[in-house]
Amino acid sequence: MDFNQPVSRLINKRYSCRTYQDLLIQASDLASLEDFAASCQIGPLGNQPRFKVIAAKEGDSASLKGLGTYGFIKNPTGFIIGASEDKLGALEDFGYLMETILLRATDLGLGSCWLGGTFTKSRFSRQLSLLDGEIIPAVAAIGYPADQSTWQDKTIRAGARAHRRLPWENIFFTNKFGKPLNPGDAGKYHQPLDLVRIAPSASNKQPWRIVKEGRNWHFFLQRTAKYPPPVFDFILNLADLQRVDIGIAMAHFELSARENGLKGKWITQPPDIPLPDQLTEYSTTWQEDEG
Ligand SMILES: Cc1cc2nc3c(=O)[nH]c(=O)nc-3n(C[C@H](O)[C@H](O)[C@H](O)COP(=O)(O)O)c2cc1C
């Protein structure tokens, strides 16, 4: 999983782009993205989602219009579609790999936007020939961003995004919930945590919580009460998008940790840490290598 630019820069640069230039994705960019997506085969929890990049071609730019994004996205010139099983850890792996592919898209100068609710499932399913037991939890629109000036100015973007995120003390803890992790005590993991904080999430709910315990970084999912609203869920038949959000957070954390030379592995071993409420569940743990 190689990027041309530092992954920390790509994470800062990515944002949900909802208006694209009416410009086809260049063949070389498309080929690079397809190669990258093909290399993203297995997630950190061992599941194997499938991804397909589709792009409008010369003379048929109308072809993607039929895919339907309920008008929320203007001029998408491509999509990344992914299929996943709906078993333990699979949606997290889907989120992890899809976000990694979107960071490569950012690397290639492409804007993107995750779509978990606002797309017509049946039309996208036809593009991927779903196997038994597979679902399409989300897709992503891609294309060259229309607002080139904002796109260039990644510093302003990252700053604006940080203001739309929960503060550190609400999401990162030490040893137990309710005991915030002081940023000064995060050591080399300061940047990985900062980059988890600005990760995208469905409806910007940011359901990730991390508790540091020795060399273990335990990831928890704190579900948002009454989310999605039941009526919305019924109409759109949504996947469990907050588990996808956890996978996205895992990707930001691990890619940034590795960029900083930090080594470790994912293990799933629930710690003996009291949960703060019934909405919170354990997901997985990043265990730093010893020494
Ligand atoms: C799993 C997932 C599903 C999402 N679904 C949608 C969607 O259906 N429509 C949309 O406009 N944005 C969607 N988003 C984008 C979020 O609203 C966005 O990431 C969040 O508001 C933070 O903004 P940012 O991505 O610009 O940092 C989704 C994001 C994620 C991670």
Ligand 1 centre distance from Cα of residue 245 (Å): 10
d(CA 110, CA 193): 25
Segment 201-222 mean pLDDT? 97
d(CA 145, CA 58): 19
Render pLDDT for 141-179 as a digit per residue (tens, 0 to 9).
999 999 776 655 555 566 667 789 999 999 999 999 999
> Which of 92-106, 160-174, 243-257, 264-278 is predicted with the least confidence, judged by mean pLDDT?
160-174
Last residue of a domain, one of 121, 151, 181: 151
Q: Is 24 in the pocket of ligand 1 (CB under 6 A)?
A: no
268: domain CATH number?
3.40.109.30
pLDDT for 227 equals: 84
Residue 212 inside a domain? The answer is yes
pLDDT for 62 equals: 67
Which residue range(s) make up the domain with 97?
7-151
Walk across the sheet containing 216-222 and list its strands.
Answer: 172-174, 208-213, 216-222, 280-288, 264-267
Q: Do 143 and 204 have their domain in common?
A: no
Pocket perturbation via mutation, ligand 1, pick of 165, 194, 201, 224 by most ligand atoms within 8 A of CB: 201
Ligand 1 centre distance from Cα of residue 272 (Å): 33
Last residue of a domain, one of 127, 151, 175: 151
Ligand 1 centre distance from Cα of residue 214 (Å): 33
Residue 1 inside a domain? The answer is no
Place of tokens 């002081």: 182
Q: Do 62 and 137 have their domain in common?
A: yes
Q: Do 102 and 195 have their domain in common?
A: no
> Which of 2-6, 115-119, 126-130, 181-185 is predicted with the least confidence, judged by mean pLDDT?
115-119
pLDDT for 154 equals: 57
Render pLDDT for 44-73 as a digit per residue (tens, 0 to 9).
999 999 999 999 988 776 677 767 666 688
d(CA 106, CA 104): 5
